[in-house]
Amino acid sequence: MKTIIVISTMLITLLLGKKRRVDSARKLEFWHLDVSAKDSDEPRPSACVGQPDALSSEIHGPQAKKVADCWERVLRRPPMSDDFISVTSSEGRRVYLRLRREGEGTIISDRHCTLRGSDRGLRLLGVPFQQLKEQLADKQRRKILEELEQHETAISRIIEQDIRDSEPTDDVGEDPCRDEEEVEDGPRGADAAAAGSFLWVDKFSPRHYMELLSDDHINRCLLKWLKLWDVVVFNRERRAPRTHSAMRGQETAGGDPRGSRGRGQWEAHRGAAMNRRGWVERGGGGWEGSKERGKGGWRGRGRGGGDGTWYKSKAQMMDEILEEELDDHKRPKYKVALLSGPPGLGKTTLVHVVARHAGYNVVEINASDDRSPEVLRTRVEAATQMRSVLGAAERPNCLLIDEIDGAPLATINALLEIVNRKDGKEKPAAGTTRKKERKKKEGGLLVRPIICICNDVYVPALRQLRQQAFTIAVPMTMASRLAQRLTEITKCQGLRADMGTLLALCNKTDNDIRSCINTLQFLHSRGEVQLSLGLVQSLQVGTKDKHKGLFTIWQEIFQLPQTKKSWMDKAQAQLGESDHDRASKSLENSRFHRILQLTCHSGEYDKISEGLFANYPNVRTNDPQMECVVAALDWLSLQDEMASMVARRQAYTMLRYMPMASIALHMLLAATRAPRLNYPAAHSELLARTARTLALTDAVMGEARSTVRCYTNGRQLLLDSMSLMLDILSPRLRPVNTQLYSTQEKRQLQQLVHTMVSYNLSYQQERTPDGNYLYVLEPNLDDAARFPGVPHPPSMPYAARQLVSREVQLEKMRRTEAALHARNPQEQSKPNLEETKDGETLDKEKKKKGAALKSHERKLEDTIQAVTVVDKPEKDFFGRIVQKKEKEKFTMAGIRYPVLEADAMQRRVGRAIGHSDVWFRFNEGVTNAVRRTIYIRDIL
């Protein structure tokens, strides 16, 4: 600092002749003055300016005028119009320096620029004066802050002491969380330079709940959910008001820095009464919060309130989930929490911090571990059923499964199985004795919280888990909050950067915390001290290989670049002073490259072009001649052609041209406001529809008669026949009994039925939702052949359809029977034989089988047989055969024998059997009693 002042003093002295003392000013153009001094004065101290003579002589001529211009600025009396600075020499002589207005003297700055470019040695000060000033101010500020902090800690110590005094039974001096804070906080501010070996990301990762950068509501939700486990894990009673007030306490602690202290203390007192572990943390958190929020948390809160309406519904939903009752085992309803969000939001950190805050020891399983189902099972069991023995704090475990979206399905299923495991025997002992319950829980029941983290929650493997988990979508970190944190980091590390620069960095990395901090560290390690907007913009590191969603891509293609983009351009233009190439890059060019990059990154050309095709008509373009639309469609069809080339002929060289269509569409159609985008479902719908139609024709063709099939195929059926066939199949039939039809009508009906049977069509009765019955053609050709909006002749009424349906069924039965008869003609003749032949011959045939026949298979003949057989050995009381006498009696009567024989049988058996076609036989338990062989042809 001293040397700089000396140099500047010398300069002024040179400038003003013999003056010694200098009154420093607000805004001095050192370079300017330096040059002018050089040019004007002979006694130039060579130690100060190591300027080669060649250069000075070279610039001497053309600069003379400017020197004069320069002298004009040093005035004896204050100028009338312009701003000025007064400089008083040690002798008390005062001159007035006129300030150069902005925009004036561009040539000079130009020259100075070239000078700077040609020779760095001209720069007298290593660091601009302004920065030096800022550094000084910074130093002072930091000193004040340190003092403040000391005071604060002192006060907090006193208060803690008070609390401890009020709770003498609990000795919580060794609270791990508190200890950690003290230990970790130390190096953070002080020896920042020494700790260059490890990543800043780790170094500056939040240690406390209140330091978290993620959304407050999300943090709170996760914490609440973890607290729900308290009942099972810590054996504490769950008290709704406690958690409520505690939460509210935290919130207000965050929101209102003034009131927080007292309230936090009060809160801490209450908490202490409830439980031992929780309160200190909460107390600590409260303190932290009061500090944090005072600085940066404010803005975030204000924004959160801005879009409160949308926010609230979701928040309420979350809260409702959290308010739900515990299950039989006093566990929360959702055993697993699933956090999702893009990388770099601090999800893992969030879980670590929150879990520690809630008094757990975090056991982490991530993608680098073996994640086969068996290993996972053992690990989960180890984590959930054991406690860490090492370490002073015997904390229960909380399992954190990181990057779960990369895990195989089997693993996730194993996890689900563990989660859903139930204690079968547990039921009776539900709430009787605590000990028993405990024991059983250890035998398999999950009693520790599991938290899963993923980037993409919609991975198919996670589908099951998603339904059973308390899903939290971690929102984007707020840029302001992140920038705030970055400022702190830069301050700690001695980097200089203003808020705008840091915001630009946030913007560049899409608010990725990790990426931001890594970039900062990278810059730091490269030796940069001063971060400027240009530096951040020109930086190649820090940008992620961003995978954007399809909707974002479509939107960007249909939308002209926003103001944000122009801001970027401006930044580039600023930068462009040194890099003319980039400066000359036109807007068109940058648009081209942006879309090219966007499309290439996604790689789903097919889906992108589908979406473009589906959505382009909604874009409002000023295109009355439709030229743009024609050109756009030309591009799309070209792309389709190329895609097919790739698919069919493996012409992969074509792949490089695939993104061109989207670029062309962007150039042609992009408007200031993107249209409402719809997901392109039309193509898949079309495929489904086509498949349905084809299935329909297949159903018709597959069952049609061979004579029909021989002459036609599905395509012809669809194109030529189907629609006309529908017309032919709905003739106007009179809704009367078919018996009343004229021969012409009968013929028509018959033809209709024949046609339907040969194409395997029929009418099926169906019930509509409103309770009516309909006859629907089956397979329903209407689907395949009819188009909306085309007039048709009226379809057949219900009665006619019913009639046709019946006739078709009859015809089908006839045909199947005919086919049966045709296949084995013997069977056809058999019943005829039976009818004509006398019973006796048949009896003999049947006798052989008779005994083996089951009752339901018996036929009339068997029964007659059986009856007569039973009757034959009729004997009298003494076992003598009575029959003979009677026979004799009949013979004596002189009637012919055979007739008599039959008569006798009739008497014995009764009239029914063997004479009537319908007969009855009672079988115990089975009622297949009335039987008669009837053929369709007998009925129809």
Partner 1 sequence: MSLWLDRYRPTTLAKLDYHKDQATRLKHLVECGDFPHLLVCGPSGAGKKTRVMCLLRELYGPGVEKLRIEHQTLTTPSKKKIEISTIASNYHIEVNPSEAGVQDRVVVQELIKTVAQSQQLESSTQRDFKVVVIAEAERLSRDAQHALRRTMERYMVTCRLILICTSASRLISPIRSRCLSLRVPAPSDEEVCQVLSSVCRKEGLSLPPELARRIAEKCGRNLRKALLMCEACRVQQYPFTADQNIPEADWEVYLRETASAILSQQTPQRLLEVRGRLYELLGHCIPADLILKGLVAELIPLCDVELQEEVVTAAARAEHRLGQGSKAIVHIEAFVARFMATYRRFVEDGLQGLGF
List contacts with partner 1 (CB under 8 A): 613, 617, 623, 625-627, 629-630, 633-634, 636-638, 640-641, 643-645, 647, 682-683, 685-686, 689-690, 693-694, 697, 702, 705-713, 715-716, 718-725, 727-728, 730-732, 751, 754-755, 758-759, 784-790, 792-793
What are the structure tokens assigned to 704, written together? 């049609």
Residue 799 belongs to what H/E stretch? helix 798-823
- We find the least distance from the C-beta atom of residue 797 to partner 1, in angstroms, to be 15
Nearest approach in angstroms of CB 619 to partner 1 is 9
Which is nearer to partner 1, 494 or 702 (by Cβ)? 702
Q: How far is the CB of 686 from partner 1 (least distance, A)?
A: 6
* Alpha carbon distance 431, 594 (integer Å): 64
Q: Are 756 and 806 in contact (CB under 8 A)?
A: no
CB of 426 to partner 1, least distance (A): 50
DSSP state of 677: P
Q: How many residues does the chain have?
A: 940
Q: Which is nearer to partner 1, 232 or 785 (CB)?
A: 785
Dump the DSSP string for 596-658: HHHHHHH--HHHHHHHHHHHGGGS----TT-HHHHHHHHHHHHHHHHHHHHHHH--GGGGGGT
- DSSP result, 280-294: HHHHHHHHHHHHHII
SS3 242: helix
SS3 letters for 836-860? HCCHHHHHHHHHHHHCCCCHHHCCH
700, 709, 716: which is closest to 780 by C-alpha? 700
Rg of the chain on CA atoms, in Å? 48
Q: Indicate the residue among 439 and 792 with the shorter CB distance to partner 1.
A: 792
Q: Min. distance of Cβ 464 from partner 1 in angstroms?
A: 31
For the bound state, the minimum distance from the C-beta of residue 671 to partner 1, rounded and expressed in Å, comes to: 13
Cβ nearer to partner 1, comparing 256 with 817: 817
Considering only CA atoms, which of 489, 452, 195 is closest in space to residue 339?
452
Phi, psi of 251 (to 5 degrees): -60, -50
Closer by beta carbon to partner 1, 79 or else 714:
714
Element (H, E) at 899: helix 897-909
Residue 96 β-bridge partners: 75, 86
Minimum CB separation of residue 704 from partner 1 in Å reads 9
Q: Shortest approach of partner 1 to residue 635 CB, angstroms?
A: 9
Structure tokens at 712: 């036609």
Give the whole-angstrom CA distance, residue 231 versus residue 322.
14
Alpha carbon distance 291, 294 (integer Å): 5
Q: Which residues make Cβ contacts (< 8 Å) with residue 111, sequence separation at least 6?
A: 35, 59, 63
Nearer to partner 1, 623 or 871 (CB): 623
- Closest contact distance (angstroms) between CB of 605 and partner 1 is 12
**Nearest in space to 318 (alpha carbons), one of 141, 471, 162, 102:** 471
Toward partner 1, which CB reaches closer, 64 or 686? Answer: 686
Minimum Å distance from CB 617 to partner 1? 4
Cβ at position 806, least distance to partner 1 in Å: 19
> Considering beta carbons, is residue 686 or 940 the nearer one to partner 1?
686
- Residues 326 and 238: beta-carbon distance below 8 Å: yes
Instruction: Output 310 or 711, the one with its CB closest to partner 1.
Output: 711
List C-alpha distances in Å: 329 to 231, 238, 239, 324, 588. Answer: 9, 13, 17, 14, 64
Least CB distance to partner 1 at residue 722 (A): 8
Residue 664: partners with Cβ closer than 8 Å, 6 or more residues away = 631, 632, 635
Nearest distance, CB of residue 662 and partner 1, angstroms: 14
The string over 31-60, giving b where at least 16 C-beta atoms fall within 10 Å of a residue's C-beta and e elsewhere, is bbbbbbbbbbeeeeeeebbebeeeeeeebe
Nearer residue to partner 1 within complex by CB, 446 or 619: 619
| Cβ proximity to partner 1, 543 vs 637, nearer residue | 637
**CB of 722 closer than 8 Å to CB of 729:** no
User: Is the CB of 162 or the CB of 685 nearer to partner 1?
Assistant: 685
Give the integer Cα–Cα distance in Å for 909 and 121: 139
Closest approach, Cβ 642 to partner 1, in A, equals: 9
- Smallest distance from the beta carbon of 737 to partner 1, in angstroms? 21
Q: CB of residue 802 vs partner 1: minimum separation in angstroms?
A: 19
Q: Which is nearer to partner 1, 589 or 716 (CB)?
A: 716
**H/E run at residue 377:** helix 373-385
- 6 or 687, CB closer to partner 1? 687
Nearer to partner 1, 647 or 736 (CB): 647
CB-based burial label for 737 (10 Å; 0-12, 13-18, 19+): exposed
Shortest spacing between CB 939 and partner 1, in angstroms: 23
Q: Where are the alpha helices (DSSP H) in 73-208?
A: 106-118, 129-166, 176-189, 200-203
Alpha carbon distance 411, 933 (integer Å): 63
Q: Between 626 and 881, whose beta carbon lies closer to partner 1?
A: 626
Within 13 Å of residue 890, how many CA atoms lie on the same side as its CB? 15
Nearer to partner 1, 624 or 898 (CB): 624
| Minimum distance from residue 810 beta carbon to partner 1 (Å) | 16
- Cβ proximity to partner 1, 561 vs 680, nearer residue: 680
343: three-class secondary structure by DSSP: coil
**Residue 346: phi, psi to the nearest 5?**
85, 35
